[in-house]
Amino acid sequence: MKSTSTSTSTWTIGELARLSGVTSRTLRHYDAIDLLAPRAVGAGGRRVYGRRELLRLQQILVLRELDVSLPTVAEILSDDGGPGARRVDRLREHHERLLAERDRFDRLARTVASTITALEKGEDMAADKLYEGFDNSQYDAEARERWGDEPVDRGAAAWERMGPAGQAEHHRETAAIGAGLASAMADVVAAGDERVQGLVARHYAQVAIFWTPSAQAYRGLGQMYVDDERFRATYEAYAEGLAEYLRDAMSIYATARLA
């Protein structure tokens, strides 16, 4: 069943897996959750896919690249069987989102390049330029799932109340704390030393603007900085191993000041 340009062409599950890079197991899972059913199932459960299914899989993969959850993908594609014009409209929407993501990653790349240049020249990059291109709204749903609506809403409201000037100052303080911790680690200062604990106290004060973590919660936050690749990358940008260093310092602070 080889691919041709005709609408009657079909592909086995193995052929579709090779074409798309999606494993056969994932394709079977998509079938099980009613996200992508094959055109037909032959003897021995042999799945066969047509061009319509290939187009639907492309849309699924585009949405997954945009970090859309599978239930939401299913909802978005629920009327995929509609007229061709509507399908083109959906593809146009996906295309626009991809272009927006491309532009955002371009901005991120320029931000990182500017940071590298500033570091190589021994210059301090403007604090409000350090975070250009970041879109923290993409983590909103994850935060709500992890901590609930009320803490997230409270934190968002606190951020808005700070206004542009306060937000810029917050970014400057974040950068100063990160640089101070990196310097202390380079000087082989123990995580429990007053120099480090003073920086952690400033870190805790920043966190407390949005919520007031208990000793256990603050330790958990420190561990998340290590376990979550996104947070780890933020601190590793200052110095390799800084995420673990901060975690250890936060644990000491929690025991001494919050327990």
Rounded Cα distance between 226 and 52, Å, is 43
Per residue in 45-101, pLDDT tens? 789 999 889 988 988 887 787 767 788 788 777 755 455 556 677 667 767 766 766
> Quick check: helix, strand or coil at residue 40?
strand
Report residue 180's pLDDT band, with 50, 70 and 90 as the boundaries.
Answer: very high
For 115-159, what is each residue's pLDDT tens digit? 677 667 777 655 555 555 555 555 555 566 666 677 677 777 887
Domain range summary for the chain, segments of one domain joined by +: 10-81, 83-124, 135-258
pLDDT at 200 over 90: yes
pTM: 0.49
Stretch (H or E) spanning 73: helix 70-76
Say what the pLDDT of residue 257 is.
94
DSSP 1: -
Q: Which helix (H) or strand (E) holds 180?
A: helix 149-186
Strands lying side by side in the sheet with 40-41: 10-12, 47-50, 40-41
Q: Kindly indicate whether the domain formed by 10-81 is annotated with CATH number 1.10.1660.10.
A: yes
- Distance, in Å, from the CA atom of 127 to the CA atom of 229, rounded to the nearest integer, reads 23
CATH architecture of 135-258: Orthogonal Bundle (1.10)
Among residues 214, 124, 220, the alpha carbon closest in space to that of 178 is found at 124
Structure tokens at 188: 């082989």
